[in-house]
Structure 1
Amino acid sequence: MTKLKKVIITFFLLLLTVGATACSNKKETSSKSNSPKSINVQFVPSISANKLESRVKPMEKLLSDKLGIPVHVTMSTDYNTVVEAMKSKKVDVGFLPSDAYVMAHKQHAANLLLQAQRYGIKQPNGQQTDKLVNSYRGQVVVKKSSAIKSWKDLKGKSISVSNPTSDSGYVFPVAELKQKGLDVPKSCKLVTVTGQDQAVLNVLNGDTDAAFTFEDARNSVKEDNPDIMSKVVPIYFTKQIPNDTISVVPNMPKSFQKKLAKAFIEIGKSKKGKKIIERIYSHEGYTYGKDSDYDVIREYNKVIASTKKKND
């Protein structure tokens, strides 16, 4: 072998070594930058918050074990607060219902990661089926002994509602009844409650004449009120509402989003994880969805907006 050949071979070996080292360093840097040191998860309880505080810690641990980083799960009083927290990057992951997700997405505060799944409900008596579904209905409930027999009788009556970003507790019933000819905010007395279990109890106890809830929120108070199904009854059901979302901040690395989605899906499929998400948020599992699934929310929001303008 000539000296020239030896020099050329040595030169190329040196280049390969430098290139390999550079690639290795690049991978390490990329890996580190794509994995946050910790994440903050936030949601708004669909039932009374004091019942959920002890249930949050198991979710933190389960998710942390899956991701290999600390996870902090907190509760908020309303979805607007969650959206603002995501917008300011104080919260990385938000459990957002359809309307709140649409609002957050419009403000570039959140992207869809997963769609929640629940068991279907069949009537009468709000019995749970064994089929997982990606949507649900809202309902209007009244006391069975009430003179209110249809949505037409709601005019002038008091109604327990959720925050205006709640799909079943506000958006869908208000929008649909507006289309039918009843301007709920203008014609009824609205009482905002935290937790749709409280809305059902308000009707049972006579504190309000009716309530807007998800189907079938009566099950959430059935343990303490075994006869709730016979005393409080639905008089109206909305169209199908796309299930809640798990949404993430847009700047979350795509590789970590995949890891996070996989973690939530695995949690929903495991016996232990399923029990935790059932107790926290009435979710039975998670699946992939797409933003266009929520176009119906955008349509209803236009109806809500027109209602507000006329009442201002």
Structure 2
Amino acid sequence: MKKKVFGSSLVAVTALVLAACGGNDTNSGNGGDSEDGYSPTDVLKVQFVPSQNAENLDVIAAPLEELLSERLDIDVEVSVSTDYPSVVTAMGSKTIDVGFLPPNAYVTANEEGYADVLLQSLRYGVNEEDGSQTDELVNSYKSQFVVMADSDIESLEDLEGKTIAFQGATSSAGYVWPAASLLDAGIDPQNDVKGVEFQGHDAALIALLNGEVDAAVTFQDARNTIKEEFPDVWEQTRVVALTEDIPNDTVSVRSDLSQEWRDKIADAFIEIGEDPEGRQIIFDIYSHEGYELSEDSNFDIVRDYAERIQQP
């Protein structure tokens, strides 16, 4: 899925999200509020946006429902959303309890009082030389600019006037960090390049291979997600530049959730990541290898980056 990016920015998307969320104080109706906060009683609702093609992800998510339900002793409903602003909207309207949010979407939700960070995901590090996996679990990653191997693009400066595959404007690796890198290179990501928005980092890479765009920005190294379908992707493409470190995705909870349920959910996700079967399930969904406790201050750098890409 793709669409043209016409002057969209984090600020504009955030405004739309807030407008959609404003004034809605309805809870999801599956629990009750107390002095200690909201506690679900019938079903815990979890939502995420796929980082790869959404086809069949509903089926892949079903085992996560089962694992969470076993550990929490409550029915769990895992759903797939089309974009992160929709997840933020759902958390603001209290129709979901837990959201898998990337850093920028989390900051948007948190600053409006809709969500608190609970966990950060862990992934194996990436060898910058060849994109291979290291044996170290880390809570941050980078974004990359990928071009065809025979492209005349050798630097970020060469991207001026080119067509670039982005993700949505709240995607850290798919837009925000790359946009800041372009600005550092003297290129306005809104006006000096032709941005095309894709849903899924794999879709952006496939568009590059098909000649639809001149470059694609993805998390490092998203080429691993399509190597079975395109075994020569490493020979056909190369990385022009990497961004600075980005905090890993969050598991965030609605802001009124009780501490008791925050602890239960955190323990459940950490246990799932430590179990071989559970780790495979979360890897299939989101390329996560586990989880660790997090705190809001870890995302101050995200707020700094959001300010950097605001247009005057």
**Shorter-chain TM-score: what band?**
0.7 to 0.9
CA RMSD of aligned residues (A): 1.6
2 CA distance for matches of 1:112 and 1:33?
A: 16
Which residue does 1:221 correspond to in 2? 226
Answering whether residue 98 of structure 2 is matched by residue 93 of structure 1, we say: yes
Answering whether residue 149 of structure 2 is matched by residue 144 of structure 1, we say: yes
Which residue does 2:238 correspond to in 1? 233
Instruction: Tell me the amino acid that sits aligned with residue 156 of structure 1.
Output: G
Deviation of 1:125 after TM superposition, in Å, equals 2.4
Kindly indicate whether the alpha-carbon contact (under 8 Å) linking 2:37 and 2:259 is maintained by their aligned counterparts in 1: no
1 CA distance for matches of 2:162 and 2:109?
A: 32
Instruction: Tell me the amino acid that sits aligned with residue 82 of structure 1.
Output: V
Which residue does 1:24 correspond to in 2? none
Distance 1:180 1:33, change over 3 A: closer
2 CA distance for matches of 1:233 and 1:125?
A: 10
1 CA distance for matches of 2:251 and 2:38?
A: 22
2:308 corresponds to which of 280, 295, 303: 303
Deviation of 1:150 after TM superposition, in Å, equals 0.8
Answering whether residue 44 of structure 2 is matched by residue 46 of structure 1, we say: no
Deviation of 1:176 after TM superposition, in Å, equals 2.2
1 CA distance for matches of 2:35 and 2:300?
A: 35
1 CA distance for matches of 2:250 and 2:112?
A: 16
1:288 corresponds to which of 283, 290, 293: 293
Deviation of 1:31 after TM superposition, in Å, equals 11
Within 5 A, what are the aligned runs for 1:269-288? 269-288=274-293
Which residue does 2:133 correspond to in 1? 128
Which residue does 2:207 correspond to in 1? 202
SS state at 2:47 partner: strand
Within 5 A, what are the aligned runs for 1:168-179? 168-179=173-184
2 CA distance for matches of 1:240 and 1:134?
A: 10
Q: Which runs of 5+ in 1 are unaligned?
A: 1-28
- Which stretches of structure 1, 4 residues or more, deviate above 2 A after TM superposition? 29-37
Instruction: Tell me the amino acid that sits aligned with residue 217 of structure 1.
Output: A
SS state at 1:186 partner: coil
* Structure number having the greater helix percentage: 1
SS state at 2:269 partner: helix
Which residue does 1:77 correspond to in 2? 82
2 CA distance for matches of 1:245 and 1:123?
A: 24
1 CA distance for matches of 2:181 and 2:160?
A: 14
Answering whether residue 265 of structure 2 is matched by residue 260 of structure 1, we say: yes
- Per the normalisation by structure 1, the TM-score is 0.87
Instruction: Tell me the amino acid that sits aligned with residue 174 of structure 1.
Output: A
1:156 corresponds to which of 148, 152, 161: 161
Which residue does 1:10 correspond to in 2? none
Answering whether residue 99 of structure 2 is matched by residue 113 of structure 1, we say: no
Deviation of 1:30 after TM superposition, in Å, equals 9.2
Deviation of 1:240 after TM superposition, in Å, equals 0.3
2 CA distance for matches of 1:131 and 1:66?
A: 27
Answering whether residue 125 of structure 2 is matched by residue 103 of structure 1, we say: no
Structure index of larger Rg? 1
Deviation of 1:32 after TM superposition, in Å, equals 12
Deviation of 1:145 after TM superposition, in Å, equals 0.6
Instruction: Tell me the amino acid that sits aligned with residue 103 of structure 2.
Output: S
1 CA distance for matches of 2:35 and 2:304?
A: 41
* Deviation sequence 1:156-203 (CA, Å, 0-9, x none): 000000000000000001012212311121101101000000111111
- Per the normalisation by structure 2, the TM-score is 0.87
* Deviation sequence 1:38-76 (CA, Å, 0-9, x none): 111000000000042220110111101110000000011
2 CA distance for matches of 1:125 and 1:114?
A: 29
% identical equivalent positions: 46
Deviation of 1:207 after TM superposition, in Å, equals 0.7
1 CA distance for matches of 2:35 and 2:72?
A: 17
1 CA distance for matches of 2:183 and 2:36?
A: 51
Instruction: Tell me the amino acid that sits aligned with residue 99 of structure 2.
Output: G
Kindly indicate whether the alpha-carbon contact (under 8 Å) linking 2:102 and 2:248 is maintained by their aligned counterparts in 1: yes
Distance 1:30 1:182, change over 3 A: closer
Q: How many residues align?
A: 279
Distance 1:147 1:253, change over 3 A: same
* Deviation sequence 1:272-295 (CA, Å, 0-9, x none): 100000000000000011111111
* Deviation sequence 1:216-245 (CA, Å, 0-9, x none): 000000011111011111101000000000
Instruction: Tell me the amino acid that sits aligned with residue 293 of structure 1.
Output: N
